[in-house]
Chains A and B, each alone.
Chain A
């Protein structure tokens, strides 16, 4: 009964949603006539004043950098909330749940892979303004590196203090750069560094700095998330 009702409701909802998007149209210009979409401005300005190769990066970090600040905050909050929800007085380290008993091949392999993953992650976020990828992607990759280590080694532990210091410093860097821009150029997150040459590593002004900060922050936060959840050994798990 309930299922049928839900299916019916969803059918109507789906119909309207689909029709709406069919109206918009796929793969062709869909903006209303007479409207100059901001994406054109973004694309134009990405090259000229910003000298960033990756338009997504320029949007994420500069045009809509405020969103990114909020997004980083969301992750930060998620870690905080996770810690708060799963908080219990810590008894001892090493009581975390083990997903599988890693063989020596896995452990050795992980050890080998770990630096490579970290390097990849760093590369991704340092080159965020030049190529696909950026702070988030790089941060996530680094976090997966830690995840690998956490899974492979039963008593591998990440210092909570270190994580939170990295996280805080990265966050402060982001917000601080924004405030510097505020003091320098009058608006928050103003790009106050020299633009450089397109497709050079040192280009795009504050964008790489912010993306590096974001990378560190995301890495620390996601590692924190995994670590917190992993440490949550199910007590009533019969």
Chain B
């Protein structure tokens, strides 16, 4: 039996057994859970050969599973992040009631993502896509009835996207007579123009939903912030990348072949840019870390979309590199928030402060992740953003550069807020008992932080596979020319050894931090927020005087008018209007049998009157 079958069997069987193992023993459940994630992950990387397909026929439809370099790259994200998040989840879910439910869906969604990457035909792609959707949906609503509407919003958007994709799939099938992706790509250049335009649009709708692209992003903040954090790291880190994966495929394999493709790219790039700005602005205003990170995810996905939409070699490298980085740092950050939430019971900045000494390891990983997020050297985020700017400039998208630059600069604000809100500031008595998260939770965070550090220094580790992946998609081997195309680096000479420069910057930076910490430590007086005797006014017990309250108030005032018009509201109004229409429509069923009989006569009479027209 092929390894691919074995992987799916382990996933499926693992999911079922894990679900029921909870009835026997909790530890057994945890072990089974880890086994059913880690073993397939190991098998995948150890045994699945790239470029080898297995074919099977199901219900008269020939399916094909296999992997190429490009999907292998994404499987790194999915299975790597998935494994780490699984380890983290064991700690995070300790003591929760519905662990079986959570584990079941967790495994299924990892399986579905792996399946998406393995799919070489549209039907299994769609099947796994939908499994991914509903399993992640089920986890999103894990937290009870308050999140019901959020979950449904997520599912409805996903369903709209997925159904658009389904339409595209069957239209492709109508044209090519086959569901294989290879056949679709092969037949695409010869299709009618309308099909050539509509099929990518429909696919992009599906992928845009998952990638939280601008008009379709409204589900993302709620869903990301309300799922259990152990899953959100996968949700935001890996699941959204499925959208990116699909988008890349569509852009490269279809849009590239038509002259109108330029417009696709422009629109997508701008949508990505706008997404980034909106996400960032919203993120800044959040008081809840989960919400903040959720919006920030939306913003980051915007960069990535912009990158792959531009579509030059450098931009693709940048986008995909950012995708990997985003998986790492956003995964870490959500884990951090999860750890804090687990230890303190809340994830609100205005309540939790001064955790730096209580949870040092968590802080360390948060710090590294934030640095990566903000794009400060020497971590990987910098490399990605650098490449993104450069690709934008080299492809003459100057306006877009400004937009992206604005978004990424504004991102500093929330980065700062996040770091400061949780870890700095006064130490409240309330949080005196807080301890560092258990090792199973800290370890994955640290591992990821380490990866970010490594990638920042040696981006080639991941740029090389990306390059391979792009070659698999038909791009030229761009990696070795990377520094040739880079203007700024070029002006410094072709062979610049970047690492020493970055390290010296980082070294100086760290030195200053250490110095300041050491210097300040002696003079620090630890007081409560209530202890502001110096100002002469004694605050009441219930007043929240944490400095995070009203953080960046002037900024809010500045952007407030722009923020008032939320896309979300339009969607809600639309949905309300729709339901009102439905409510009106169903009054056709008046409950009076005579009315129904009259309907029958009306039906007959209408048919009789229009009989020449109908038949």
The reply on A113 being an interface residue by CB < 8 A is no
CB distance from B35 to the nearest CB of A (A): 57
Map CB proximity to A onto B602-615 as digits: 1 under 8 Å, 0 otherwise.
10110011000000
Residue B604 contacts which of A2, A6, A13 (CB distance < 8 angstroms)?
A13
Q: A102 within 8 Å of B by Cβ?
A: no
Q: Is the CB of A6 within 8 A of B608?
A: no
B558 within 8 A of A: no
Give A2 to B602 CA distance when docked, in angstroms.
12
Q: How far is the CB of A178 from chain B (nearest CB, A)?
A: 36
Chain A positions 1 through 33: 1 when the CB is less than 8 Å from some CB of chain B, otherwise 0: 010011001101100100000000000000000
Least distance between B610 CB and chain A CB atoms (Å): 12
Determine the chain B residues whose CB is within 8 A of the CB of A13 once the complex forms.
601, 604-605, 608
Give the size of the chain B interface in residues (CB under 8 angstroms).
7
Q: Assess whether B608 is in contact with A12, with CB atoms less than 8 Å apart.
A: yes
Cβ contacts under 8 Å, A12 to chain B:
605, 608-609
Chain A residues with CB under 8 Å of B573's CB are: none
Q: Establish whether residues B601 and A9, one from each chain, have CB atoms under 8 Å apart when the complex forms.
A: yes
Binary A-proximity of B585-615 (CB < 8 A = 1, otherwise 0):
0000000000000100110110011000000
Q: How large is the interface on A (under 10, 10 to 19, 20 to 34, 35 or more residues)?
A: under 10
A9 to B600, CA, bound (A): 10
B598 and A9: CB pair below 8 A?
Answer: yes
Report whether A10 and B608 are in contact in the complex, using a CB–CB cutoff of 8 Å.
no
> How many Å lie between the Cα of A5 and that of B598 in the bound state?
9
A11 to chain B, nearest CB (A): 9
Bitwise interface map of A from 133 to 152 toward B, beta carbon under 8 Å scored 1, else 0: 00000000000000000000
CA distance A16 to B602 in the complex (A): 13
B608 to chain A, nearest CB (A): 5
Complexed CA–CA distance, A2 and B594 (Å): 11
**In the assembled complex, how far is the CB of residue A22 from the closest CB belonging to chain B, in whole angstroms?**
15
Chain A neighbourhood of B608, CB < 8 A: 12-13, 16
Contact assessment for B598 and A6 in the assembled complex, using a CB-CB cutoff below 8 Å: yes
What residues of A have a CB within 8 angstroms of the CB of B602 in the complex?
9
A6 to B605, CA, bound (A): 11
The CA of A12 and the CA of B609, in the complex, are separated in Å by 8
Tell me how far the C-beta of A18 lies from the nearest C-beta in chain B, rounded to whole angstroms: 12
- Distance, CA A180 to CA B604, complexed state (A): 45
Q: Which residues of A contact B605 (CB under 8 A)?
A: 9, 12-13
* Cβ-closest chain A residue relative to B609: A12
**Chain B, residue nearest A12 (CB):** B605
| CB of B573 to closest CB in A, whole Å | 36
Which A residues are in CB contact (< 8 Å) with B609?
12
Give the distance to chain A from B491, nearest Cβ to Cβ, in Å.
85
In the complex the two chains form, what is the Cα distance from A7 to B594 in whole Å? 14
Chain B residues whose C-beta falls within 8 Å of the C-beta of A6 in the assembled complex: 598, 601
A152–B601 alpha-carbon span in the complex (Å):
44
How far, in angstroms, from A2 to B598 measured CA to CA in the complex? 10
State A9–B594 Cα separation when bound (angstroms). Answer: 14
A16: chain B residues at CB < 8 Å are 608
Distance in Å: Cβ of B593 to nearest Cβ of chain A: 14
Name the residue of chain B whose CB is nearest to the CB of A15: B608
Question: Of all chain A residues, which has the CB nearest B608?
Answer: A16
Q: Tell me the bound Cα distance from A16 to B605 in angstroms.
A: 9
Q: Which residues of B contact A10 (CB under 8 A)?
A: 601
Question: How many angstroms from the CA of A6 to the CA of B601 in the assembled complex?
Answer: 9
Q: Point out residues on B near A: beta carbons under 8 Å.
A: 598, 601-602, 604-605, 608-609
Q: List 17 A-B contacts (CB under 8 A).
A: A2-B598, A5-B598, A6-B598, A6-B601, A9-B598, A9-B601, A9-B602, A9-B605, A10-B601, A12-B605, A12-B608, A12-B609, A13-B601, A13-B604, A13-B605, A13-B608, A16-B608
Q: Which 3 A-B pairs have the closest CB atoms?
A: A16-B608, A12-B605, A9-B601
- Which chain A residues have a beta carbon within 8 Å of chain B's beta carbons? 2, 5-6, 9-10, 12-13, 16
Given contacts A13-B604, A16-B608, 15 further A-B contacts (CB under 8 A): A2-B598, A5-B598, A6-B598, A6-B601, A9-B598, A9-B601, A9-B602, A9-B605, A10-B601, A12-B605, A12-B608, A12-B609, A13-B601, A13-B605, A13-B608
